[in-house]
Amino acid sequence: MSEARGGPGAGHGGHGATDPAELLMRAARTLRRRSAEALAPWELSPHHVRALRVVCAGAGGGETRLSDVAAALRIAPRSATEVVDVLEARGLVERSPSALDRRAVVVRPTAEGERVRAAVERHRAEQSASFLGALTPEERDTLAELLRKVLDE
């Protein structure tokens, strides 16, 4: 049974919770669950989508190396290789030699990768709008400002 329905931790973690940290964790869990459900049609994890986003962002003229993917995702280079392997196996990215450094390999999105990234981003925006739908635009701005402050960005 979920916390919101009276399961473990319901007393302080239920709908009447007032602790901001608990509310933030509940919101994050809800967003993670919705995100995983939303990505199911593409059989991608949030991690894969973040990597695809990094690769697509680099496609605007720069070169995206595996080390760039690792740094952006804050993972080890070996783990970035595994993530890119999955994307490559699904036809979303391709590897090629760097034009700037023959020793380096760069990762570029395929046309399908660009299409999937755009579709996922549209779906993500719809999910976000739905999740935050009870808030006015001003309240959303305030929430974003407060979260940036807490995250020290």
pLDDT one-digit tens code per residue, 19-36: 999 999 999 999 888 888
The fold of the 42-151 domain, in CATH, is Arc Repressor Mutant, subunit A (1.10.10)
**Which pLDDT value is given to residue 153?**
63
**Domain map (residue ranges) of the chain:** 42-151
User: Residue 103's pLDDT band (boundaries 50, 70, 90)?
Assistant: confident
Instruction: Give the Cα separation of 43 and 41 in Å (integer).
Output: 6
- In tens, the pLDDT along 34-48 reads 888 888 888 998 889
State whether residue 62 is helix, strand or coil. Answer: coil
Q: Which residues pair with 65 in a beta bridge?
A: 106
Burial of 9 (0-12, 13-18, 19+ CB in 10 A): middle
Between CA 109 and CA 85 the distance in angstroms is: 13
Question: Which two tokens mark 77?
Answer: 């280079």
Confidence of residue 63 (pLDDT cuts 50, 70, 90): confident
Q: Judge whether residue 57 has pLDDT over 70.
A: yes
